[in-house]
Amino acid sequence: MSADRLSSVPWLSIVGIGEDGRAGLTPSAAAALGAARVVYGGRRHLALAGPLDAETRPWPSPIHEAYPEIVARRGRPTCILATGDPFHYGIGAEIARLVPADEIRAFPQPSAFSLACARLGWPLAECALVTLHGRALTRIVPHIQPGARLLVLSWDGTTPGALAALLRDRGFGASTLTVLEAMGGPRERVRTARADAFDGAGVDPLNTVALAVAGAGRALPLAPGLDDDLFENDGQLTKAEIRALTLSALRPHPGQHLWDVGAGAGSIAIEWMLRHATLRATAIEGRPDRAERIRRNAAALGAPDLAVITGTAPGALAGLPAPDAVFIGGGVSEPGILPTALAALRSGGRCVANAVTLEGEAALLAAFAAHGGTLRRYGVERASPVGGMHGWRPAMPVTQWAWTKP
């Protein structure tokens, strides 16, 4: 058989399996499982699918060590077992990056999110879907909004209790927390309680949490320009009004990667990541104490995946993944920083640089003369006490250069 012909023949089956085991498989899924010579899966999946005539290979740790072995089986009947829908926070998407789609047959079952909505009568399209499986708990923070309904895949049996504590700490103890354990099988159990009265003892490691957020706690606004006091800082902070304008000028799109050069408190990088779940950012900061502060801010505000590099640009920029956008908030007048950032920027990428000093402004004027783009100057005044009354106190004006790379 030619290589081209081989590539069009599905040899890899990805079978979603529920807690009801083989009994819950469709005939076509059962046939694909039965035809496989080798079956990969977690030990729980393999037990649910048993007995199997094929050779079984439990996932190693880390799981990706098995991927080359799977790819090497190209053309021979192979099956991967996964929980529910393999393409919804499952292994399916990972495997599809390695094996062409026309070589795969997938047999999904209802996801944990679908099962939870079926139990609760919630409309799936109106729920926020979040996974905390192998991820930091604080990823949930941006989703905690008054009146929101969240469906959360847990890491283990401790996740529901940790979520309840987080809700209490943020002033949402009145939220309803429903834990759905081992859905679809004989061990299924559903328990519901207020977050401020939740007892997390004895929760099955296989669980999904449904949250109905209630209360008047601390929720992050959905618009850019978070309050300055939400960021731990030493004064090196892009203030809220300018931050909102800067994010607008950066024009984020899903999947893009930002460099925040001279990040200070990390506010631009953090708010960039809060705009969409697929946005990534790297904060570059020369002072170690500020770099640690950025990490704390990112964790507290729901962007724990922010990459933080402790080092001084332009040297610290070497070897970093090429950015789709660059923000320079500190050191724009330092030799080499702006040219290095512009050279690294992907074609079609966006650079925005702010300056408050005359030296920084001169660097931006030179960049504008050399490359074009747009040059703006922003001034903000805030009402402040003057004796027993109030008056306007102007902040230092900010010069901003924005440019799209051809």
pLDDT in the model for residue 8: 62
How would residue 1 be classed by pLDDT, with cut points 50, 70 and 90? very low
- The domain covering 228-404 belongs, at the CATH homologous superfamily level, to Vaccinia Virus protein VP39 (3.40.50.150)
**Topology (CATH) of 3-109:** Cobalt-precorrin-4 Transmethylase; domain 1 (3.40.1010)
pLDDT, tens only, 135-150: 999 999 999 999 999 9
Question: What is the distance between the alpha carbons of residues 403 and 309, in angstroms, rounded to a whole number?
Answer: 24
pLDDT tens digits along 287-340 = 999 999 999 999 999 999 999 999 999 999 999 999 999 999 988 999 999 999
For the stretch 55-75, pLDDT in tens is 999 999 999 999 999 999 999
pLDDT tens figures, 83-117: 999 999 989 999 999 999 999 999 999 999 999 99
Query: CA gyration radius for the chain?
Result: 26
The DSSP H or E segment spanning 37 is none
- Given a cut of 50, whether residue 3 has pLDDT beyond it is no
- pLDDT for the residue 237: 95
The predicted model gives 260-287 an average pLDDT of 97
DSSP 165: H
Q: Domain locations in the chain?
A: 3-109, 113-212, 228-404
Fold of the 113-212 domain: 3.30.950
Average pLDDT in the 172-189 region? 96
- Please say whether the dihedral angle defined by the alpha carbons of residues 123, 124, 126 and 128, taken in this order, is positive or negative: positive
Handedness of CA 340, 345, 347, 351 (dihedral sign): negative
Helix (H) or strand (E) holding 267: helix 267-274
Confidence class for position 9, pLDDT limits 50, 70, 90: confident
Length of the chain: 406
Q: Average of pLDDT values for 40-47?
A: 95
Comparing CA positions, the residue from 208, 204, 179 lying closest to residue 191 is: 179
Helix axes 358-371, 337-344, angle to 10 degrees: 40
Is the pLDDT reported for residue 5 higher than 80?
Answer: no
> How far lies 244's CA from each of 240, 378, 381, in Å?
6, 12, 15
